[in-house]
Structure formats: structure tokens, C-alpha cells
């Protein structure tokens, strides 16, 4: 069991809210923290609840351009202007109030997790609010204002990390970190996702391998629609552990999107929480084996915000804390009541579930 595990909690991140009709709901993160608390995981002897502050512009600027940061701030303050060239407007990335402040909170939470692992003696740290992996240096994309995993990686490199491995299990290709570090040999990116032939962002093919000295450090595993637990886990086991071990990173950074679930409304894979349980165990063992135990985990996508996301991320965090095998399968009744109240509908009552047909 890891001696020190950090849980970054930042309730203020509820302001990262594209509006009531948008699929990315802040409740998915809030309900995750609620479920972790309901299980008592935050009170475990090896778990420390960490707070986060908004990232300063110079930290966000490790990845993003000053012009983009300024445009994001001005748009969120309601200033008039053409912000479409920065990716803002109707559709995936509508302008919402305090947009820069919301993005800065997400980045700050992920950097807090990175700092805990790299400088404060923590083995693992989890920032459920993070994982916004589609934002590019000068453009918002795919619900993502700032690319917090990429900023956390850049921060680690700037603080002396020699190599960072980034593993992305979101149903969508981790295009932001791949593009940002495409020519950076110190960063390995591995993304397992539904093929870009069928799904946004239309990238993530095997021939995308990196540039120059970084060729071969960018790895993509595109999967066909309908892929279920067994095939997904087989692909994951075949590629991820070997590539990470071979790279010998100083830190493992993961994006734990759970929009791979069979019931997710935005994609076409067929995973269940059983796959998340196995992936969590593999990643945990890999962190200790290949990265000296240093594991920085972020959230990501997931649009069954009450029925799936809190269960998936609680499974991952329980594994990080060494408590997954002893965790009761039955969800706490108080949490179920709160989730059903927010959803205005029923939610599952157990962490486990039958494989998708």
C-alpha cells in the first residue's frame, strides 16, 4: 500500500460550466468527490486531501500562448469580440462566465497533483477535475479550455523530471498532449481510444509517431466501435505496460476518461466498470514498477455524469489508495439518494456491473 496518496479537492471548480444543455457537467466531478467521501476513502490513514489554487498565467503559459490566455479571460468577462479563432463559440466550446478563472482552477488542481508527487513526497495524487486533453496552445477544443495534463507535464519537465510517460484511456484520442509534445523526446504519449475514423477529433492513428528525436515516443491504439471489455483490455495489456517500462519515466501521468462506457451517449465503445477495475490495477502496478511509484492521475471525459463517472473514478482512486479490493460493492445509500436527486432519475447501486451484451 502506498504511504502517501493525495486527493486534490477543489469545489470551486463547479464554475467550469458550459451551461445546462452541455454534456460536460461539473456534477460529475462533485459527485465523484462525494462518493469517495461517502466510502470514507478520504479519511484513510494514507490519504491526504489537498487543496488547489488557480494556476497563474505563467504556469498556464508553459503550454498556452499569451494571446490565447488573454482572449479566454476577455471572453469570460463578457467583452465583445471575435473569439472564434480561439475555438470559442456555439457548439463544443461556448463562452461561459469566468471562463479563464475556471480553466485556471482545473490547471491549478492538476499542477497541485504533480507538485505533490514530484516535490512533496506523495506516491500518487488524483485530480478528478483535470484531464481536459483536447485544448491546443492557441485554441480551445472538445469542451477543453486549457490543457491541464499538458501543463502538468511541462511543469514536471521544468522542475527536473527527465522523462514523463502519459497514458490516456479516454474514448477520444489524447490529441492535445500528443501535439504539444510531438517533437519532445522526453515525453511518451500512449493513447488507447475509439478510432478517429469514427469519432472526434479524427486523429490518433498508428502512423502518428512523433517528430525528429521524438519519433517513436508517440503511440496510438485506435479501436473499432463496439469494442468491449475483453478486447479493450487485451489491447491495453499488449501495448501500454511494455511501452511505459521501456521508456523508464520518472513520473507516470494518466488521463482516466470513462466515456468508453457502454452507456456513454457520445461514443461507441462497450466497456463496463470491470474494465476500469483491471486498468486501475495495471496502471498502479506499472507506476511502482516503471516510475518509482510516482503517479499523477487526472479525470477526463465521461457523459453519464451521475451513473458512471463517479463510480469509475472512485474505483481508480480506491486502487491508488490500496483500498479497492476491500471496498464494498454496494454504493452508500446517502450517496445514491443525492445522485438520484441531482439526476432526477435512478443510478446504479453497485460499483460492479454485468458485461455489456
Q: Which residues are catalytic?
A: 134
∠ CA 331-337-340, nearest 5°, is 100
Residue 247's contacts (CB-CB under 8 Å, 6 or more residues apart) are 163, 165, 188, 217, 290
Residue burial 284-313, b: 16+ Cβ < 10 Å; e: rest:
bebbeebbebbbbbbbbbbbbbbbbbbbbb
CA distances from residue 210 to 158, 195, 204, 243, 261 in whole angstroms, order as listed: 21, 18, 11, 14, 29
Count of Cβ atoms closer than 10 Å to residue 355 Cβ: 13
Handedness of CA 115, 166, 297, 26 (dihedral sign): positive
Dihedral pair phi/psi, residue 101, rounded to 5°: -60, -40
Distance CA 345, CA 171 (A): 25
Helix/strand/coil percent split, the chain, to 5:
40, 15, 45
163, burial (CB in 10 Å: exposed 0-12, middle 13-18, buried 19+): middle
Amino acid at each position: 500500500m502506498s504511504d502517501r496518496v493525495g486527493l486534490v479537492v477543489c469545489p470551486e471548480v463547479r464554475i467550469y460550466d458550459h451551461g445546462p444543455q452541455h454534456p460536460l457537467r461539473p456534477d460529475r466531478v462533485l459527485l465523484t468527490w462525494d462518493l469517495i467521501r461517502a466510502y470514507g476513502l478520504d479519511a484513510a490513514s494514507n490519504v491526504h486531501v489537498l487543496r488547489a489554487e488557480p494556476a497563474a498565467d505563467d504556469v498556464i503559459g508553459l503550454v498556452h500562448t499569451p494571446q490565447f490566455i488573454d482572449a479566454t479571460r476577455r471572453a469570460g468577462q463578457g467583452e465583445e469580440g471575435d473569439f472564434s479563432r480561439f475555438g470559442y463559440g456555439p457548439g463544443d466550446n461556448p463562452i461561459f462566465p469566468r471562463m479563464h478563472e475556471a480553466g485556471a482552477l482545473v490547471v491549478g488542481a492538476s499542477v497541485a497533483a504533480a507538485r505533490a508527487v514530484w516535490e512533496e513526497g506523495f506516491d500518487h495524487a488524483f485530480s478528478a477535475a483535470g484531464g481536459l486533453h483536447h485544448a491546443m496552445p492557441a485554441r480551445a477544443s472538445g469542451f477543453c479550455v486549457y490543457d491541464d495534463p499538458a501543463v502538468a507535464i511541462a511543469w514536471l519537465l521544468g522542475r527536473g523530471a527527465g522523462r514523463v510517460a502519459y497514458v490516456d484511456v479516454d474514448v477520444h484520442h489524447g490529441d492535445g498532449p500528443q501535439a504539444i509534445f510531438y517533437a519532445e523526446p522526453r515525453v511518451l504519449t500512449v493513447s488507447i481510444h475509439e478510432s478517429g475514423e469514427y469519432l472526434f477529433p479524427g486523429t490518433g492513428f498508428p502512423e502518428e509517431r512523433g517528430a525528429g528525436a521524438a519519433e517513436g515516443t508517440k503511440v496510438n491504439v485506435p479501436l473499432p466501435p463496439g469494442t468491449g471489455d475483453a478486447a479493450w483490455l487485451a489491447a491495453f495489456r499488449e501495448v501500454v505496460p511494455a511501452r511505459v517500462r521501456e521508456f523508464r519515466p520518472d513520473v507516470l501521468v494518466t488521463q482516466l476518461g470513462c466515456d468508453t462506457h457502454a452507456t456513454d451517449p457520445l461514443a461507441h465503445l462497450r466497456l463496463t466498470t470491470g474494465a476500469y477495475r483491471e486498468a486501475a490495477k495495471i496502471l498502479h502496478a506499472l507506476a511502482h514498477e516503471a516510475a518509482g511509484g510516482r503517479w499523477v492521475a487526472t479525470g477526463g471525459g465521461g457523459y453519464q455524469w451521475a451513473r458512471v463517472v463517479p463510480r469509475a473514478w472512485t474505483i481508480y482512486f480506491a486502487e491508488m489508495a490500496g483500498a479497492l479490493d476491500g471496498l464494498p460493492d454496494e454504493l452508500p445509500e446517502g450517496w445514491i439518494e443525492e445522485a438520484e436527486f441531482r439526476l432526477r432519475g435512478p443510478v446504479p447501486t453497485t460499483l460492479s456491473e454485468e458485461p455489456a451484451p
